[in-house]
Amino acid sequence: MYARASTDHQPLPRLTVQRPKGLTLSLCQRRLLVVLLVCGFGCAGNDDPRYASPLATYATYLQGVLSQDTLAVWECFSLSFRKSEYDSDYAKWQAQWPIQANELTLAAKRRQIAEEGPINDRIAFVRFDVTTLASSRVTPFFYFIHDADGWKITSYLDSTFHAELERAIDEGTFTLPAY
């Protein structure tokens, strides 16, 4: 005898992602985005899944840049970065977007991650393959700090990032690599 499946269960919700018009991603970029999103959704904790890891945040940032979603990009920035660069004023960031959009979009399409490096439980970095950067003057790093709602992009000039980096070096939990 075969047992019959119960018919009083509810169907699982379906997750659909709509691609914005004009957005084309290479197969490699699509695979990276899927892996990063899956990693982000699989992480434990109270963080927003979009910011559950530095790679999840970068995937969210990448999607925001490529879809021209200024709010999504803004939300990827740390509170300290927003304050130091834009006086915590989203309108100032939004006003800069038309000036930066083309460059940010080209960079997002070109960059390939070479390494992800957690420094400690508060800061991390992503290093890009230097051959995928626009020039040798472009930094190959994105820096991250863990804010109240997850991992956010910051600057190496961020005083909080610097303090955490110095603490990690002093404690011996991190050494600066020689690239």
Give the total number of structural domains in the chain.
1
> Is-above-0.85 flag for pTM?
no
Residue 178 lies in a domain: no
Task: Print pLDDT tens along the chain (179 aa).
Answer: 333 333 444 443 343 334 444 445 555 454 444 444 444 444 445 669 999 999 999 999 999 999 999 999 999 999 999 999 999 999 999 999 999 999 999 999 999 999 999 999 999 999 999 999 998 899 999 999 999 999 999 998 898 899 999 999 999 888 877 76
Residue 128 lies in a domain: yes
Residue 136 lies in a domain: yes
Residue 105 CB partners (closer than 8 Å, separation 6+): 65, 66, 68
Residue 126 to residue 168: CA distance in whole angstroms: 17
Which DSSP state fits 65?
H
Residue 176 lies in a domain: no
Which pLDDT score, from 0 to 100, does residue 45 have?
55
Sign (positive or negative) of CA dihedral 24, 55, 43, 74: negative
Residue 116 lies in a domain: yes
Residue 109 lies in a domain: yes
Q: What is the domain range of residue 127?
A: 27-170
Residue 77 lies in a domain: yes
Q: How does strand 150-154 pair with strand 113-118? A: unpaired
CATH number at residue 148: 3.10.450.50
CA distances in angstroms from 123 to 45, 81, 157, 166, listed in the order given: 17, 14, 13, 11
Which pLDDT score, from 0 to 100, does residue 95 have?
96
Residue 21 lies in a domain: no
